[in-house]
Amino acid sequence: MKPRLRPPRFSGRLHDARTATAIGRWLGAAVLVCFVTGVLSHYLQHPPAVLANRLPSRPAWGYRFTQGLHVAVGTAAIPLLAAKLWTVYPRLFVLPPLRSVRHALERLSVAVLVASAVFELFTGLLNTAQWYPWPFSFISTHWAVGWLMIGALVLHLAVKAPEIAAHWSNRSAGTLALPAEDGPDRRSLLTAVGAAVGAVTLTTVGQSFTPLKDLDLLAPRHPDHGAQGLPVNRTAARARVSRDSVRDWRLRVDGPRPYELTLAELRALPQREVTLPIACVEGWSKSARWTGVRVRDLLDRAGAPAGARVRVVSMERRGNYRVMEMGHHYARDPLTLLALRLNGEVLTLDHGYPARIIAPNRPGVLQTKWVNSLEVL
């Protein structure tokens, strides 16, 4: 006689619905925060036509906050997801595997939810390290799978709503029946999960929340590491911009009254100083002091209409961030500069010498370095 394959038996209470709900609440909240901040980030970077000239340039710290939150909460969601999967994995062994059409659909939706959540956290984490060991585009795939994940989550919450309600708190009806001696086990597990979340958060959040920068041991970037006290994402060497190539540099401003300026002429114009952060999409951010000419003043001189959008083109030959566009709220904001100096010194080549854009409430990728021309649209 063949030995019958017997499913493993799970007796501990740490795999029950109350534990799954307790961890699931936090994980669900984290996924929602990541989704909302992710959608925001996407539309700030790739605005559809209706938004292109409507995006607000304030609050100046807006993108720094929402993207810092996106990456911090996404990082914290990794131990939460691991704990949640450990809590529910015995359900992989339910027999029979498919009981009804409804049960089959429910299992399918959970499979989609698990796969998309694992995919989002994995690709997001590797993106913070700028590591892309896959053949697809990170941005469009992370964006599309985010929608898949949120759809599967909504379905999951709807299907599980009665169970979630029954196990929402310790005092919920379903758990009163549990033996009292199981209480401490669950508390230990939840404490351990909380400690793991606290540990990954405290050792990474300093990459953006600079009061905690001294604890930033695990994040790929440290806010203090980089020339002139600011990290560099893409170096001049990688962008193929050299000292030689900027020697005879001139700024061109195209508009109703086009003109050109040498660096000396730009330096002779009224200089403004602003304090604004670079907030990289990959999660690090840092505030700095920038000095330069208001973009608004440069546009006025070219006779640009007040509501016009502006295209900024970099000297960089190739690269996804060579050309950038900004709506009039950014272009007209008195904080938006064509910066020539950073923290009191002339920009280094890596930070965009001879001139770069710095604007409030914008993703770092749109803070164009090595600016060649401004075009009124």
Ligand X SMILES: Nc1nc2c(c(=O)[nH]1)N[C@H]1C(S)=C(S)[C@@H](COP(=O)(O)O)O[C@H]1N2
Cross-strand partners of 300: none
CB of 347 to ligand X, least distance (A): 8
Closer Cβ to Mo ion, 84 or 286, answer by number: 286
CB of 370 to Mo ion, least distance (A): 15
Phi–psi pair at 286, nearest 5 degrees: -160, 140
Contact 324, 357 (CB under 8 A): yes
Closer Cβ to ligand X, 53 or 67, answer by number: 67
Q: How far apart are CA 14 and CA 147, in angstroms?
A: 30
| CA contacts within 13 A on the Cβ side of 91 | 16
Closer Cβ to ligand X, 66 or 116, answer by number: 66
* Binding flags for Mo ion, 347-376, as an x/- string (CB under 5 A): -----------------xx-----------
Torsion of CA 139, 140, 143, 146, to 10 degrees: -110
Closer Cβ to ligand X, 261 or 276, answer by number: 276
Closer Cβ to Mo ion, 189 or 281, answer by number: 281
Q: Which of residues 212-251 bind Mo ion (CB under 5 A)?
A: 233
Q: How far apart are CA 56 and CA 330, in angstroms?
A: 7
- Binding partner of residue 183 among ligand X, Mo ion, none, CB under 5 to 8 Å per kind? none
- Binding partner of residue 221 among ligand X, Mo ion, none, CB under 5 to 8 Å per kind? none
Q: Which stretch binds Mo ion (CB under 5 A): 6-14, 56-64, 276-284, 316-324?
A: 276-284
CB of 365 to Mo ion, least distance (A): 5
Q: Which residues bind ligand X (CB under 6 A)?
A: 230-234, 239, 278, 280, 314, 316, 319, 321-322, 351-352, 364-365, 367-370
By CB under 5 A, name the binding residues for Mo ion.
233, 280-281, 364-365
